[in-house]
Amino acid sequence: MAVVGAGSLATALACALRQSGYIITEIISRDAAPSRRRARAIAASVGARAVTVSSATLKATLLWFCVPDSEVRHAAASLPSRALEGVRFAFHSSGALLSRELAPLRKHGVAVASVHPFMTFVPGVQPSLAGVPFALEGEAAATRMARRIVRDLGGDSFTLPASRKAAYHAWATFTSPLLLAFLVTLEEAARAAGLTPEDSRRKSLPIIRQTLENYSRLGPRRSFSGPISRGDLATVAQHLAGLKKHPWLREVYLALAQSALRRLPVKNRSGLRRLLHD
């Protein structure tokens, strides 16, 4: 395999593939010095060559594109035709884009697929891919190959219809980036109560961990607690009054409380609905 890209996903994927017995021939990066530096570091850890598009030989059966969404098609079109003779498969790992972004490679007989790991990748952290779901979309031959590779990585693959890709990626965005946005909002709520962000993280983590454990073991309905679940109008009204000085926090509170009314067990539902919509 050759990996196109030198960011956090490329690092994690190349290392996981190497540990699973796959040979990584090249890490292909942009010409910019920081990209080449990262590519050299990845290549050294997996026994590959660090190259740029102009120097890539592509002595690989499979290309795996780990580049930003806006660069997938350009990266595929930039590879020299002379080097594509032995390439049979190409994947990209965008959660939002379809496999057709790799169309420039199809005219060379390359079977293409989008293979998106449902995991977060940030600098300095290399998460395990064991048990990670991978969403697959694309040509039959490429998705068959992807299922085999995902199985070797210890992950779980599932096929995603092209028409569902945007909704899928919105869901994925809720699970990590927007969850983190919620946690930052939580820090702001703690600041309104007189705590620092550091205090907020330290004091919030035990209840956050327990909530996730309950959600995993019991499901959302049996894990739901607090004044909204009890239908405690007076306490909820007190919350809303206290947040009037922090209007955007109040908006988030209202949106989440209304979501709870739609999907979670609550008492005094009609009273809460009137209170939350006043």
- Cα angle, residue 112 at apex, residues 107 and 116 outer, rounded to 5°: 150
What are the pLDDT digits (tens) for 140-159?
999 999 999 999 999 999 99
What are the pLDDT digits (tens) for 53-103?
989 998 899 999 999 999 999 999 999 888 898 999 999 999 999 999 999
Q: What residue type is 104 in one-letter code? A: P
- Cα distance between residue 89 and residue 109, in whole Å: 9
Tokens of 124: 């300095």
Domain that holds residue 243: 177-277
Residue 15 near residue 43, CB atoms below 8 Å: no
**Whether pLDDT at 46 is above 80:** yes
Does a structural domain hold residue 260?
yes
Q: Residue 126 contacts by C-beta under 8 Å, 6 or more apart in sequence? A: 11, 12, 15
Q: What residue type is 30 in one-letter code? A: R
Claim to verify: residue 200 and residue 243 sit in the same structural domain:
yes
Claim to verify: residue 27 and residue 73 sit in the same structural domain:
yes
Claim to verify: residue 217 and residue 266 sit in the same structural domain:
yes
Model confidence, pTM: 0.91
Quote the radius of gyration of the chain (alpha carbons, Å).
23
Parallel, antiparallel, or unpaired for β 49-52 and 62-65?
A: unpaired
Claim to verify: residue 205 and residue 125 sit in the same structural domain:
no
If one counts the domains in the chain, the total is: 2
Identify the pLDDT of residue 134. Answer: 98
